[in-house]
Amino acid sequence: MLRANSILQGVDEADVPGLLEAGELVALATRAKIYDAEEPIQSVYFPIDSVLSVVTSMKEGGVIEVGTIGREGTSAIPFLLGATTTANDCYCQVPGTAIRLRAEHFHALRARSAKFRALLDRYLQGYVNFLGQLAGCNRLHSTYERCSRWLLLTHDRVSSDTIRLTHEYLAMMLGSRRSGVTIALSTFRRAGFITYTNGHIEVLDRQGLMDSSCECYAVAQAQFDGLLRPVDGDVS
């Protein structure tokens, strides 16, 4: 299971027994809390086939996604930036499994392993770059293109062609009206790219979605693919 997460797959063999002892494989349901805004973060999650969402809440009650985390990364971003809390909430977006480490075990492993620190630093750079691309995407690209991008990224992160998600939740994640997301999904279904029913979206034609997406999907993939290659040997 460790090999299914891009960061954990690079952990030194000498650290694997301790990681297996300290880590816990958990099943995350939709909306399961990872951490709350302004509350001390107690645990770190490394998704296997789940997807986590980092969201910000507005005073009027609106919620919008500002970041996503899949098998390429970890929920430990605040720790990597030297914080113990954050202004955002994080919860499970697409249900699945993850490896959970208590904060103290994460910090101990990070202090002990230069290779682990190098992988975390690479991921942090990719995550920051992805956030910049996401900001531009949300401002400049259509709901149709952004929906394609979101489905492709999520398809990469789960071990199935089926994504468990409702229209309402997808609209919230994209910061779009539910009607716009419904139109986009209906268009994809008529084109034979997907099917959907009862909170399940099944990808039938990945290439069709790729042809429909903006360039942001390819940019995101290039960031994580380039920054998360396995590191050979310790990095000083």
> What value does the CA radius of gyration of the chain take, rounded to a whole number of Å?
18
Residues near 62 by Cβ (< 8 Å), separated by ≥ 6?
none
Q: How confident is the model at residue 218 (pLDDT cuts 50, 70, 90)?
A: confident
- pLDDT above 70: residue 175: no
Amino acid residing at 208: G
Provide, rounded to the nearest whole percent, the portion of the chain with pLDDT above 70: 94
Residue 232: pLDDT above 60?
Answer: no
Residue bearing tokens 């290439």: 207
Listed ranges 2-6, 29-33, 171-175; the one with the highest mean pLDDT:
29-33
Quote the tokens at residue 173: 């994640």
Give the separation between CA 89 and CA 93, rounded to whole angstroms: 12
DSSP letter at 32 equals -
Q: Is the pTM of this model over 0.85?
A: yes
Q: What structural domains does the chain harbor?
A: 2-137+220-227 (2.60.120.10), 142-213 (1.10.10.10)
Please say if the pLDDT value at position 236 is more than 60: no
Cβ burial of 60 (10 Å; 0-12, 13-18, 19+) is exposed
Tokens of 132: 């910049």
Using an 8 Å Cβ cutoff, are 30 and 158 in contact?
Answer: no
State the virtual CA torsion across 72, 75, 76, 81 in degrees, nearest 10: 90
